[in-house]
């Protein structure tokens, strides 16, 4: 069975809730109708990020922020706690 990629469209409720912080990877604000994913990164837990800022790991069915792309530390997988 192929792992399912969970993509989310930004609606008005998510837009209002998430735009105070914006995307933790690229620092841009989200826009209505944009595709985002919940990804793990160098932060604690999982956060919404732009789909093009993350890669999907089929083994764990989880999106991760690419560390070499953003020159992050090796703590990405350790920081992700799936709920």
- How many residues does the structure list for the chain? 83
CB 38 within 8 A of CB 65: no
The two tokens of residue 70 are 């953003």
pLDDT of residue 3: 67
pLDDT of residue 9: 95
pLDDT digits (tens, 9 = 90+) for 36-78: 999 998 888 899 999 999 999 988 889 999 654 444 433 444 4
Q: How far apart are CA 8 and CA 51, in angstroms?
A: 9
pLDDT of residue 45: 87
Q: What is the pTM of this model?
A: 0.74
pLDDT of residue 60: 87
pLDDT of residue 73: 38
Distance, CA of 68 to chain centre: 16
The two tokens of residue 20 are 């105070």
């Amino acid at each position: 069975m192929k792992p399912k990629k969970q993509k989310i469209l930004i609606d008005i409720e998510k837009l209002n809730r998430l735009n105070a912080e914006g995307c933790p990877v690229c620092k841009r604000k989200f826009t209505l109708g944009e595709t985002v994913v919940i990804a793990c990164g160098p932060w604690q837990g999982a956060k919404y990020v732009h789909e093009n800022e993350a890669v999907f790991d089929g083994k764990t069915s989880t999106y991760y922020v690419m560390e070499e792309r953003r020159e992050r530390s090796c703590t990405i997988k350790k920081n992700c706690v799936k709920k």
